[in-house]
Amino acid sequence: MYILEVVAYTISLAYAIRLKIPFSTYGENASLTVQSTSSSTYADMVITLLIIAYSPMDMYSRRITTFCRARGITTNTFYVCVAATVMILCSLALASDTAVPPSMLRVLQLFTIPVSLASKVPQMMELQRDKATGQLSVLVVFAQLLGTLARVFTTVTETNDRLLFWGFALATVFNAVIAVQVLMYWNGNEKQAALHDGRWYDSVPVGRRPLSELPTSVSPAHALPKRD
């Protein structure tokens, strides 16, 4: 999914540059939004290469692993070189009117909308399942929400491009849902930590203690009195 996001950001950047859309509608802003920004696109490419460089790649293909070992190079180095080459060639193709005509570029830009939205669904499902924010940064969540709101405003006032508008509008809706979930489960991390060691169960009145939330280990306070 992360690689698809990188592809979507790259297509959106090429779409904005080739259509000569004002930089204020897709450039990086103060709220640290990550949607279709030039700096985040390059950073995502570097992060993707780092993920490939430090991931166990020997398990994917024995032939490639044997090929690399015979030539004294690591499998990770081979995959990084291939990925970097593909990134460069695809970037050059997106910048060329001959390789990627404007009509095809619009189709590719349309493809980025479901990809961008689908990347947010796992986060929403995880928040709903855990009822806790976990490692999710509250600052980043609301920064993304404000960023997409700003993008909707600049798109309407400066370009009126429907593809960009609906992309940012739908992203704003999804970001708003995540922001609401963060507010709902603000104290979820503390409750989960307390539930894990049984302290949450002790803090609930006896008449309100749900059987489904019994602690895994019975503390002395829960032990039944011995009969004589």
| Cα distance between residue 28 and residue 35, in whole Å | 9
Over the stretch 168-207, which tens digit does the pLDDT of each residue have?
899 899 999 999 999 888 876 666 666 555 555 555 555 5
Which tokens in the block code for residue 75?
């499998």
Q: What mean pLDDT value characterizes the chain?
A: 78
The pLDDT value given to residue 32: 35
Mean per-residue pLDDT for 41-61?
A: 81
Query: What's the pLDDT score for residue 2?
Result: 65
Q: Which domain holds residue 163?
A: 2-184
Query: Is residue 195 situated within a structural domain?
Result: no
- Assess contact for 150 and 33: CB atoms under 8 A: yes
In a domain, 32, yes or no: yes
Bin 36: left if φ > 0, else alpha if -120 < ψ < 50, else beta: left
Task: Identify whether 211 is part of a domain.
Answer: no
Contacts of 70 (CB under 8 A, 6+ apart): none
* Beta-carbon contacts of residue 9 (< 8 Å; ≥ 6 apart): 34, 35, 36, 37, 40, 41, 44, 112
Return the closest-CA partner of residue 12 out of 153, 148, 149, 179. Answer: 148
Give the pLDDT confidence score for residue 106 in this predicted structure.
92
The reported pLDDT for the residue numbered 46 is 84
The residue ranking higher by pLDDT, 23 or 78, is 78
What percentage of the chain carries pLDDT values higher than 90?
18
pLDDT tens-place string over residues 142-158: 988 998 898 888 888 88
Which of 106 and 201 is assigned the larger pLDDT? 106
What pLDDT was estimated at residue 181? 92
Residue whose pair of structure tokens reads 């570029």 in the numeric block: 105
Strand residues in the chain grouped as ranges (E): none
Look at residue 217 and tell me whether its pLDDT is greater than 60. no
In total, how many domains does the chain have? 1
* Spatial contact of 201 and 147, defined as CB atoms under 8 Å apart: no
Residue 101 pLDDT level (bands cut at 50, 70, 90) = very high
Question: Which tokens belong to 197?
Answer: 């060691």
Domain membership flag for residue 10: yes
Residue 157 in any domain: the answer is yes
Tens-digit pLDDT profile for residues 55-76: 888 777 888 988 998 989 999 9
Give the span between the Cα atoms of 73 and 55, in whole angstroms: 15
What local confidence, expressed as pLDDT, does residue 31 receive?
A: 36
In 3-state terms, what secondary structure has residue 99?
coil
The confidence score (pLDDT) of residue 30 equals 34
Residue 36: is its pLDDT beyond 50? Answer: no
Which helix H or strand E contains 127, and what residues bound it? helix 121-130
**Residue 199 maps to a domain:** no
206 within some domain: no
Angle formed by the axes of helices 121-130 and 162-184, nearest 10°? 10
Is residue 203 in some structural domain? no
